[in-house]
A and B are shown apart, each in its own frame.
Chain A
């Protein structure tokens, strides 16, 4: 079999495994890990559009996740709407927020942009924590029991698993389509060299804003999915720095700027995190910080391209393969 056949067989196997996982998961604990993996893969894939492809490393994407997480519970709390109705509103508000903060922050390059995004996200987290309408420090609660299927409140996590899997497939399909279009090429060009890109007619500001808006709306979608599952959100679980950092780590571990990198990163990080927490009985965020810090150091020191880059380099050691045109 050629390497292309192997690849196709591998992809088919991976899809089959993802589809069958809930049937094989022996306990709610393992099913929950599966759901959490999918959610992390969705949010990291959303982050990846801006941070990976366009090279603008946001460490404040929790602000969009939080907006997406709050809106469904806000429309439920205020007007009794089904939480799901808040999803498009959250995505829209995230795009608005992206437009607002994008103009000043995207002028900054490299670490300065990253630091500005941290600052904005923290500011929003603190403001939300003092704002009574959105539950201040307590946060918001969803329907305790479903009033109908449209509340998407399930005891068992299996429905969430398949909803999340469907959304992940959609996000990856969108990313793949983006890669083949002008905007996708422009994003990679801006990442590789902004001055050179602009000399070729790439409107870099507009390109970065488009990447941010798309990335923000999908990150908000991830936040909404999270809250549909948990039925609860507070400033830390919505806007906290760990939310932002997790997206960066998951994408960087698998390979930022690659299509499947975030999924691979989530498949490794989430189980590792969950097992580390249960073994050490921690559950506190202290251990999570240590784990994230360790991964940052390892990825930055040994393989800034993530696991995908590592694999690519290992393939290159093989005898020269026939040249792709």
Chain B
């Protein structure tokens, strides 16, 4: 297993945002992590990325225990991630944002710049290279976050709702980008609360509710699971059938 997280628990005060979550990801997989808002997906993610130290449980990546390691140690180990709310460096250009990622394995500025340009070409951001990141719209920032993480040459990329809030055209482009990244040999864990997207992308889906995994399997099977319909789709259907305010 490339990533093996067992019994991950995160308490905020007395509140269990994540309660004994397990996730094992094999090299080369695309795993979807879905669940209603507030299920604890982002918190679980932050435990996997070293942003939060779990209250209990273990996170092992490629045989190394990273449970208590710093976020930068996670990056060095080969875990890249994006933020649910894009956290691009607003006052730096698009190219400079990506260079910060590229510096991880290319300490010289010239090499880092060359590597960053390759990543910009790959992610379709090359025409925006000289723009301030703060001037980009949300889709551009989400793409830049992916590019920046990609520049660190991760083996595992954690994407937190990087497809949410995109128009159908932007969504198609973003899905193409995710597929392209996967073809480069990057393993992906994708968090979404929009079910439809993940079904087309992921080989395996885990459904998260109240801080832990309630179902796992191929997208089609999971969709048919009564527990999932109850916890997740039930709510989704209800939202969808509610008249727009």
Chain A residues proximal to chain B, CB less than 8 Å:
180-182, 185-186, 188-189, 192-193, 195-204, 257, 323-325
B190 in contact (CB, < 8 A): no
Q: A189-B100, A201-B72 are in contact. Are A195 and B51 (CB under 8 A)?
A: yes
The complex places the Cα of A192 from the Cα of B88 at a distance, in Å, of 8
B206 in contact (CB, < 8 A): no
Q: A182-B103, A185-B100 are in contact. Are A199 and B75 (CB under 8 A)?
A: yes
**Complex contact B49–A196 (CB within 8 A):** no
When A and B form their complex, which 7 residue pairs have the shortest distance between CB atoms, in order from nearest?
Answer: A201-B75, A192-B89, A201-B104, A198-B71, A196-B87, A200-B101, A189-B100
CB-CB under 8 A from B152, the residues of chain A are: 200-201
The complex places the Cα of A192 from the Cα of B51 at a distance, in Å, of 17
Min Cβ gap B43→A in Å is 14
The complex places the Cα of A188 from the Cα of B129 at a distance, in Å, of 17
CB-CB under 8 A from B90, the residues of chain A are: 192
**Complex contact B72–A198 (CB within 8 A):** yes
**Complex contact A189–B89 (CB within 8 A):** yes
* Interchain Cβ contacts within 8 Å, total number: 78
Some 13 contacts from A to B, beta carbons below 8 A apart, are A182-B109, A185-B112, A188-B89, A192-B92, A193-B88, A197-B89, A199-B51, A199-B75, A200-B151, A200-B152, A201-B75, A201-B103, A257-B91
Most buried by B among A195, A196, A198, A202: A196
**Which parts of B197-212 form the interface with A (CB within 8 Å)?**
none
The complex places the Cα of A239 from the Cα of B109 at a distance, in Å, of 38
CB < 8 Å neighbour of A199 from B92, B99, B108, B149:
B149
Interface size of B by CB at 8 A reads 33
CB-CB under 8 A from B104, the residues of chain A are: 200-201
**Complex contact B75–A325 (CB within 8 A):** no
**Complex contact B101–A325 (CB within 8 A):** no
The complex places the Cα of A7 from the Cα of B196 at a distance, in Å, of 54
**Complex contact A200–B75 (CB within 8 A):** yes
CB-CB under 8 A from A200, the residues of chain B are: 75, 100-101, 104, 148-149, 151-152
Min Cβ gap A22→B in Å is 37
**Complex contact B51–A193 (CB within 8 A):** no
CB-CB under 8 A from B129, the residues of chain A are: 325
**Complex contact A199–B130 (CB within 8 A):** no
Most buried by B among A181, A189, A199: A199
B245 in contact (CB, < 8 A): no
